[in-house]
Amino acid sequence: MKKYLIILLLISGGLRAQQITVNVSVAPPMTPYLLDNIFKTGKFSIQIKNNTRETIQLKLTGSIAGDNGLWLKTKPNYHPPKPIVLNPNEIRILKNWQELQDFLDGNNVDYSEIDPQTIARNGFPEGTYNICVKALDYVTNTPLSFEEPLGCSNAIHVRYTEPPVILSPVCDEEVHASNLIFRWSGVVGAATKVTYSLKIVELPFPEADPNVFIDAVEVPFFEQKELNINNLVYNASLPKLKPGKSYAIRIKATDPQHKLIFLNEGKSAVCKFMVTDLPHESH
Amino acid sequence: MPFFLVASIIIASIFMPENLKAMQDSVIVHVPKDTLATNHPDSSSADAVRVKTDTLAKTKSWVIRGEVNISTGFYRMTGLDAPRGQMLPWGFTGKLTLASKSGWIIPVTGIYSSQSNRFRQPYNQVGASPVFKEKLILHAGYRNVYFSPLTLAGHTFLGGGAELQQKKLRLGFVYGKFNRAIEYNLAQPDIIPYFKRTGFAARAGFGTKVSFLDLIVMKVADDVNSINTLPEEQAVSPAENLVIGLSSRVRIKKKFTFEMDGSTSVFTRDTRAEAISDFVSIPYYDVIKKVFVPRISTQLSTAFQTAIGYRARHFNGRLQYKRIEPDFKTMGAYYFQNDIESYTASPNLTLFKSKLKLNTSIGLQHDNLLNQKKAQTNRLIGSAALVYAPDENLSLDAFYSNYGITQKAGYMPIIDTLRISQNNRTLSANGIYMKMGETTVKTFTATAIYQELQDLNSHTSAFNENKNWNYSASYTYQDLVSDFDFSLNYSYTLTKAADLNSLFHGPTLSLNKRTLKSKNMLLSANAGYMFSEQNIYEFIEKGGVLNASASISYTLFEHHNLSLNWSIIKSTGGQAFSENRGTVAYQLTF
């Protein structure tokens, strides 16, 4: 570690580079939306500390870089209208973008391949990102803080992990209770093992919207958690579904290791199915 | 309170059955609205109104039809966890339809349950959508209104609105509360907090009910001040949504149909986030911000779908195209699949005087529309169903479906060990044979279903692959004279997956008998025993599951029905438990 630090010191221009210490952090919980994580006031904070006994006028520059090759970084000629002034030994925590100035503004950054307008519209592509911030002398552009990886945030994972899709029964389908197999597509894009829970709620009347009642009901008709495979044969050992009744069904994917963040909290779209007396092919 | 109104109708009808006959034919309701609808302001004196309503009564101006149901029950479980027993919440549902000679049809629905509580979105709902001569629809109360699938598409709201179809003019407007505020509760962290969400949707269009072009605008937003400040770790944030959509349907000579829906949704996940104009330049921002302020957490996404259909005597078919951008959502619809572009063709054939039917469907789908994902997932979805019914006694059908998934590189090169390549297949066959006697009906049915998940990636197949075999055969005997029927069924289910083999098989017997003089009592019993054998991680568990139920249903004066139902599931073996459920239900129809 010491060697590493020494090399860093040499690269970054000797002793001047430790005049300012920069710490960057992003507060949990993470959402799949990197922009929300970074740019929302309170989520992202930069702590800057003046390690000298002199007042320092500085500006901040930064970068966002992902393991997918995408990067954005402050233009070399960036010059904010006024400096951040740090008194001797002062520690300041910058939490909102008025204080942080505009070093990651769309107009003030160079970028790899996706322009900031597209990112603002579509979000960041999947990947693992780091945000790094550096302090420079306001007038001379001399680095005042260490180079990367110091001054960098914790890794931020952007994954768009979609919830399961119910394959059978098809929404609004009539089914016969003795031939019923619930099937859903496994979660795509999950490197870890995902478990599923299946919830069935009896609807108060056939036309009822299943979305309204799936969460409004205190005691579900049937619920099975921690399913390891993406189907469930609803055989005669389970509570008997009543002919003539309609039910709402939803599958929820969960990561037992709590690493994955799912879109829609891992919940599939809610479907309704009707139970009939007559045998019917189960799709 | 409509609930008490309905409750009083029930009570009155229980104790005064002689009144019920009158209700059966028609119930005369002196509704002032109808009197006012005659539009004679001069005749508004008390006498005039009385004369008017009496006249209406004689001509049966208002007819009421409907049903109400009340149920409660208990649930008790011993075994798996600590024993627990509880009364099931009691629930009430009611549906009334009032129809007037003047052209009003007023369907009213009401649901009430003791399980509703303030920590969830409402279970208890009362609402009505009166229709006047198929031209005007009014909405009041809890409603699910549908303007188009990509704008206001049935999300429940509490509010009001109106829809008008006047010649070729189509108008619609609703305003209401889409979510009620639910506070964060430190003592119950599982409760999801909600902001109060209100908004409107408006529709203006041209055309008839079956052929039209509509423009729809919807704006709904959360009220940031409707709940107390949330703790930092809560991911819930006040959101805002503006949707502009087009919807069209065209029908030509009952043969051709055309559908088109398009929508642009501007969705702000957090209205407290900084305005995006602080970071990037936006053209026409001065105009845009008056309608909607784009923020860092704002996403703009589009969705489009179109379909053409053709229907003839022997053939009908449909071609559909759909493109829904990643995370497309509107506050007017519940969650649906997004980041999807799909093409679907569904040709169906009907041959030999409807004795043979072939229904098929094939679809291609892919995601990663905006190249944000590491890998693109492609899906090939196909199905075919063949139904052969040579006469009214025999019906045979076969069904096949496949849901295939493959992946290719998206934003990053794909790693082979993680590449998904799967087929999820179902194959089923079903046969019904019915033998009609003079007073008896005998029915034989047999079903076989095979289902498998095939994983073509050798690195993951051992964990993911699974197979199911499900067979069942049953015999039903109905005696139409003595109103008795019974059925015997045997089913067999085998599941094989990584580290899991499970087998369930066993018989089920059901009996139904109508009794008493006017056959107004129905006795039903059902008992089944499933032998089970489970092999989990080489541990073998043998056991059985008893699943039995019994019910009595008694109908009084044709309108009142009381039913008692009891069921038990008793499982022996590794995970022994027993579960008892009982319900009592009363139904009134009129």
Question: Which of A158, A178, A212 is the last residue in one of the domains?
Answer: A158
Closest to B325 measured CA to CA, from B308, B337, B333 = B337
Of A28, A120, A213, the CB nearest to B276: A120
Residue B51 has pLDDT above 60, yes or no: no
Q: Which of B243-252, B350-359, B457-466 has the highest mean pLDDT?
A: B243-252
* Nearest residue in A to B384, CA atom: A283
Question: Which of B89, B115, B143 is the last residue in one of the domains?
Answer: B143
Note whether A154 and A169 are same-domain residues: no
Residue B197 has pLDDT above 90, yes or no: yes
Note whether A92 and A211 are same-domain residues: no
> What average pLDDT score do residues B430-457 get?
92
In B203-356, alpha helices (H): 285-291
Judge whether B436 and B421 are in contact, CB under 8 Å: no
At residue B389, the pLDDT reads 93
* Nearest residue in A to B91, CA atom: A204
Note whether A213 and A74 are same-domain residues: no
Residues in chain A: 283
Note whether A184 and A271 are same-domain residues: yes
Q: Do B530 and A235 touch (CB under 8 A)?
A: yes
Note whether B113 and B249 are same-domain residues: no
Residue numbers in A near B411 (CB within 8 A)? 68, 125-127
Note whether B125 and B99 are same-domain residues: yes
> What average pLDDT score do residues B486-495 get?
93
Question: What DSSP state is assigned to residue B373?
Answer: S
Confidence of residue B179 (pLDDT cuts 50, 70, 90): very high
Note whether B286 and B326 are same-domain residues: yes
> What average pLDDT score do residues B486-508 get?
91
Note whether A145 and A171 are same-domain residues: no
Which parts of chain A have pLDDT scores under 50? 1, 5-15, 280-283
Note whether B568 and B458 are same-domain residues: no
Question: Which of A127, A158, A189 is the last residue in one of the domains?
Answer: A158
Mutate to test the interface with B, among A187, A194, A224, A229 (most CBs of B within 10 A): A229
Confidence of residue B157 (pLDDT cuts 50, 70, 90): very high
| CATH code for the domain of A62 | 2.60.40.10
Q: Do B530 and A186 touch (CB under 8 A)?
A: no
> What average pLDDT score do residues B490-515 get?
91
User: Has residue B469 been placed in a domain?
Assistant: no
Greater pLDDT, B378 or A156: B378
At residue B13, the pLDDT reads 41
Note whether A146 and A174 are same-domain residues: no
Of A42, A216, A282, the CB nearest to B121: A216
Note whether B214 and B312 are same-domain residues: yes
Residue B449 has pLDDT above 90, yes or no: yes
Of B120, B424, B500, the CB nearest to A216: B120
Confidence of residue B558 (pLDDT cuts 50, 70, 90): confident
* Nearest residue in A to B528, CA atom: A236
Mutate to test the interface with A, among B269, B373, B379, B501 (most CBs of A within 10 A): B373
Residue B233, min C-alpha distance to chain A (Å)? 6
Residue A76, min C-alpha distance to chain B (Å)? 18
At residue B206, the pLDDT reads 95
User: Has residue B485 been placed in a domain?
Assistant: no
> What average pLDDT score do residues B372-392 get?
92
Q: Residue B518, exposed/middle/buried by CB under 10 A (0-12, 13-18, 19+)? A: exposed
- Which residue in the block uniquely carries the two structure tokens 């934003």? B411
Note whether B156 and B291 are same-domain residues: yes
User: Has residue A281 been placed in a domain?
Assistant: no
Total of domains in chain A: 2
Phi, psi of B36 (to 5 degrees): -70, -30
Report the alpha-carbon distance of residue B46 to residue B32 in Å, rounded.
12
User: Has residue B483 been placed in a domain?
Assistant: no
Percentage above 70 pLDDT, chain B: 88
Note whether A177 and A42 are same-domain residues: no
Of B115, B281, B464, the CB nearest to A107: B281
- B67: domain range? 1-143
> What average pLDDT score do residues B179-203 get?
88
pLDDT in tens, B271-283: 988 787 777 777 8
Total of domains in chain B: 4
Residue numbers in B near A251 (CB within 8 A)? none
pLDDT in tens, A176-186: 887 788 999 87
Note whether A145 and A190 are same-domain residues: no
Residue B214, min C-alpha distance to chain A (Å)? 24
Note whether B139 and B151 are same-domain residues: no
User: Has residue A283 been placed in a domain?
Assistant: no
Q: What DSSP assignment string belongs to A44-106? A: EEEEEEE-SSS-EEEEEEEEEEETTS-EEEE-TT---SS-EEE-TT-EEEE-STTTTTTTTSG
Note whether A145 and A270 are same-domain residues: no
Q: Do B428 and A281 touch (CB under 8 A)?
A: yes
Note whether B439 and B324 are same-domain residues: no
User: Has residue A104 been placed in a domain?
Assistant: yes
Q: The complex's ipTM? A: 0.82
Note whether B130 and B154 are same-domain residues: no
Note whether A172 and A200 are same-domain residues: yes
Q: Do A125 and B508 touch (CB under 8 A)?
A: no
Residue B166, min C-alpha distance to chain A (Å)? 28
CA atoms within 13 A on the CB side of B61: 18
User: Has residue A215 been placed in a domain?
Assistant: yes
Residue A142, min C-alpha distance to chain B (Å)? 26
- A260: domain range? 165-276
Note whether A170 and A204 are same-domain residues: yes
User: Has residue A98 been placed in a domain?
Assistant: yes
Report the alpha-carbon distance of residue A251 to residue A248 in Å, rounded.
11
- CB within 8 Å of A45: residues ≥ 6 apart: A24, A25, A27, A93, A94, A95
Q: What DSSP assignment string belongs to A200-268? A: EEE-SSTTS-HHHHHTT-SS-SEEEEEE-SSEEE--TTSPPPPTT-EEEEEEEEE-TTS---BGGGGBP
User: Has residue A206 been placed in a domain?
Assistant: yes
Residue A191, min C-alpha distance to chain B (Å)? 7
Judge whether B270 and B237 are in contact, CB under 8 Å: yes
At residue B62, the pLDDT reads 86
At residue B362, the pLDDT reads 96
Question: Which of A104, A126, A158 is the last residue in one of the domains?
Answer: A158
CA atoms within 13 A on the CB side of A14: 2
Note whether B44 and B2 are same-domain residues: yes
Q: Do A235 and B504 touch (CB under 8 A)?
A: yes
* Nearest residue in B to A204, CA atom: B93
Note whether B151 and B129 are same-domain residues: no
Note whether A110 and A8 are same-domain residues: yes
